[in-house]
Structure 1
């Protein structure tokens, strides 16, 4: 077994050669800067043999009021405790391939909303029991004649309206009421100011009053960007551009975390100034790369960041788009 050689690059310590399955031998990596400094938790969420329990990941992360972490994978949704133990699973065809998730505390409990790209629908299910209470197929009432419906992102307005982005197909964004009734759609595919070239991610931006939509226009030319739209689908402004391939967004207080498929996570403040860049991957062979197996993972270096979420203490959970299924816990340094 090779010994671990550690070097310092900016604020990041990288363990280069330890085998991925020997999690107890891997040192935490510190990344970020200032008030957005984090330490990784090597081996978080692994089984007793040091392996990921997820299988291929191409999804998101949410956290419930009790602090349980939900992440979506090809096989379904797996729920972890904050210390990385699996507490329940929602597996099978009804829960597979959820590309994006939001969680919402409602009168009848906590519910997860999911965009299922490969299954051409949005869903809503009980976060504790898994009971599916709503499905959102392509709305024929829209009058659109689409060859394909491939939703990538979902979010929920304060009044319960559901917004679903068809980011892998038409790039229309559809709005439904809380019962699933089609209301309207907006946007279209293109590289114009008010067009989307892969409306890949979306969330409710609660940093502002009233809240607005924050949309990740992942493949916009020449560089990926974030946009603000109001809840009626009206363009407001370009938030920031030059982000590579922004995949999703998660809000806590005045901050937003934005995974970039190029293998990094960007944190912005309320003025949308970059506060920190985490896990930056400088190797073109392993970034934007689904096929990096677990034994090739490098602690503190991402390969294709796809989803993220903050817990109540400001820690981050980050999912990579990855063949072996990678979910990382980053503990914020106080």
Structure 2
């Protein structure tokens, strides 16, 4: 019995040591260009045994004012310290399948807003206690409650607290609520016209402009994906950029926006919406836009199903892949 336990513990420790050694052999990869040059951080976010800490991912990333990184997975929300260790988690059916997240500092504290595609709702919860304080569904007042499938893919919040929730995997309506969750209006429809959405997959408040506006990722618009601007009253402003692959989400810092492309890259635009850099490009068409790339086949600096991103205060980026084993990466911005 003692010998069996000794053999088990020895095997376990050797496995951990071998995984750590394998990780130590992976070197940082430099990517991007000019002001938007980054180095990867090999092994960031992995457990001590070298395996993913989060499981299957199809979600987003946000960062709180203390610098902690929140990423959503099928199992729930995991919170990492900047050095890649899990320091908190919100797991279970109440937090599962958050497809997109937004974080906001409010009078009562910091809150995360989430769009739950498989669970057909939007939620708001306290980032530090996990208390869920708001649930959002299809409002009866919209006249659509029993007429559409609800599979929300994106959520964002205006400066006055108004909430926008995109039904991107179904009707492609974007619903607007006040800060208490009261229905205000909806706009949008499914199609390939200039003012229609063919998978309004991602959305954020574009603070690069005054007044602020919505930046919407129209992922599957024919012939290729595009970004759109809408006013906070649901009025079409313009087509920002097209032929940008399959944009899944957007994150703003200052004059810049990071836009993950599901085919396996991340595009960074400036305030004029000119492409500044492309990072993580996957040259293998069989591996780009592929959920089923196991951790054993991950390649440092090469993305597969790029889905969520967020900037920290130092301009570093955290990027999540849509991935069977759950991949989140840290890119450290190179200071010139």
TM range (shorter): over 0.9
Post-superposition shift, 1:22? 2.0
1:48-87 alignment to 2 at 5 Å? 48-87=48-87
Structure 2 equivalent of residue 206 of structure 1: 207
Q: Which residue of 2 aligns with 1:109?
A: 109
Correspondence 1:143-292 to 2 at 5 A? 143-144=143-144, 145-292=146-293
Question: Contact 1:74–1:97 (CA<8 Å) still a contact in 2?
Answer: yes
Q: Does structure 1 residue 31 correspond to structure 2 residue 31? A: yes
Question: Structure 1 residue 140: deviation in Å?
Answer: 1.7
Structure of higher CA gyration radius: 2
What is the distance in 2 between the residues matched to 1:96 and 1:21?
A: 33
C-alpha distance in structure 1 between counterparts of 2:164 and 2:326, whole Å = 27
What secondary structure is seen at the aligned counterpart in 2 of 1:204? strand
Q: Does the Cα contact within 8 Å between 1:246 and 1:260 map onto a contact in 2?
A: yes
| Cα-to-partner distance string for 1:101-134 (whole Å, 9 max, x where unaligned) | 0000000000000000000000000000000000
- Paired with 1:21 and 1:304, the residues of 2 have a C-alpha distance of 27
Alpha-carbon deviations, 1:47-97, whole Å to 9, x = none?
A: 111111110000000000000000000000000000001110000000000
Whole-angstrom CA distance in 1 between matches of 2:293 and 2:100: 21
What is the rounded CA distance, in whole Å, between the counterparts of 1:290 and 1:186 in structure 2? Answer: 31
Question: Is contact 1:125–1:133 with CA below 8 Å preserved after alignment?
Answer: yes
* Native 8 Å contact 1:126 1:133 kept in 2: yes
State how far apart, in whole Å, the 2-side matches of 1:133 and 1:323 are. Answer: 30
- Report deviation, 1:21: 8.3
What runs of 5+ residues in structure 2 fail to find an aligned partner?
A: 1-18
Q: Which runs of 5+ in 1 are unaligned?
A: 1-18
Point out the structure with the larger helix share: 2
Q: Is the 8 A contact 2:202 2:217 kept in 1?
A: yes
**2-structure distance, mates of 1:25, 1:125:** 40
- List structure 1 segments (4+ residues) > 3 angstroms apart after TM superposition: none
* Greater Cα offset, 314-323 or 137-146: 137-146
Equivalent residues of 1:21, 1:49 under 8 A apart: no
Q: Could you report, residue by residue, the CA deviation over 1:280-320 in whole angstroms, capped at 9, with x for unpaired residues?
A: 00101111000000000000000010000000000000000
1:147 Cα deviation from its structure 2 partner: 3.5
Q: In 2, Cα distance between the equivalents of 1:71 and 1:21?
A: 26
Q: Secondary structure at the match of 1:295?
A: helix
Distance 2:102 2:220 in 1: 22
SS in structure 2 at match of 1:141: helix
Tell me the distance in 1 between the aligned counterparts of 2:36 and 2:245.
Answer: 21
How many residue pairs get aligned? The number is 317
Alpha-carbon distance, 1:146 to partner: 2.6
